[in-house]
Chains A and B, each alone.
Chain A
Amino acid sequence: EAGVAQSPRYKIIEKRQSVAFWCNPISGHATLYWYQQILGQGPKLLIQFQNNGVVDDSQLPKDRFSAERLKGVDSTLKIQPAKLEDSAVYLCASSLAGTRNGELFFGEGSRLTVL
């Protein structure tokens, strides 16, 4: 079974530039999550999708971050304009049964460095 795919693995940008990350979840997984993990910390949920709909985006900085999940499959996370504090690993995860009944499957992450 193919895992969660993410790209790019690494990205270096200047502050105020924009960046986009792509995620392809495991086939058949209805729920998709984007987490931000700053060095030395645990992952923080940015946004959770159930199929096409947003379930939770309470911690997404909506003035600069946006995410979409077209057709309930792939998802993109965009940052515009980037700030220095956005330097982090952006992890995408998916689940079949949701967090009350099962595990999350994570991709390898996209490491963003903002200079």
Chain B
Amino acid sequence: SQQGEEDPQALSIQEGENATMNCSYKTSINNLQWYRQNSGRGLVHLILIRSNEREKHSGRLRVTLDTSKKSSSLLITASRAADTASYFCATVTQGGSEKLVFGKGTKLTVNP
């Protein structure tokens, strides 16, 4: 079963623009993680945000978490062609197993 649902499913922007991807989930979480997957490759961890945190930054990445709305967003600022990839949110349920459940992902294309 998939916990997180990303929106939009696909996003195409120009280099230098900002990209925002959203993730909604259904049950209370311990933490939420974002991963990137380049075509034909494995997933790479970007950021982990805990349920008691509201915002985290890492370089050009900014993640927000709104537990009241059960949603998170990933913002990539000043995008580059190399940011072209699929982005997945994944959640760890509060109090349950340690299973990390992924959404279906957002496919981001950054045009040079």
Contacts and interface: CB of A to CB of B under 8 A. Distances in A.
Contact of B45 (A48, A103, A108): A103
B97 interface: yes
A107 B42 contact: yes
B78 interface: no
Contacts of B45: 103-105
B100 A45 contact: yes
Chain A interface, >50% SS class: loop
A91 interface: yes
Contacts of A107: 42
A2 to B, nearest CB: 14
Contacts of A93: 42-43
Chain B interface, >50% SS class: strand
B102 A42 contact: yes
Interface residues of B, number: 24
Interface in A35-55: 35, 40-45, 48, 55
A106 B44 contact: yes
Interface size class of A (residues with CB under 8 A): 20 to 34
B22 to A, nearest CB: 15
B18 interface: no
B31 interface: yes
A102 interface: yes
Interface string B1-32: 01010000000000000000000000000110
19 contacts: A35-B102, A41-B105, A42-B104, A43-B43, A43-B102, A45-B100, A45-B101, A48-B99, A56-B98, A93-B42, A98-B98, A99-B30, A99-B100, A100-B31, A103-B45, A104-B45, A106-B35, A106-B43, A107-B42
**5 pairs of A and B residues whose beta carbons are closest in the complex:** A42-B102, A106-B42, A103-B45, A106-B43, A99-B100
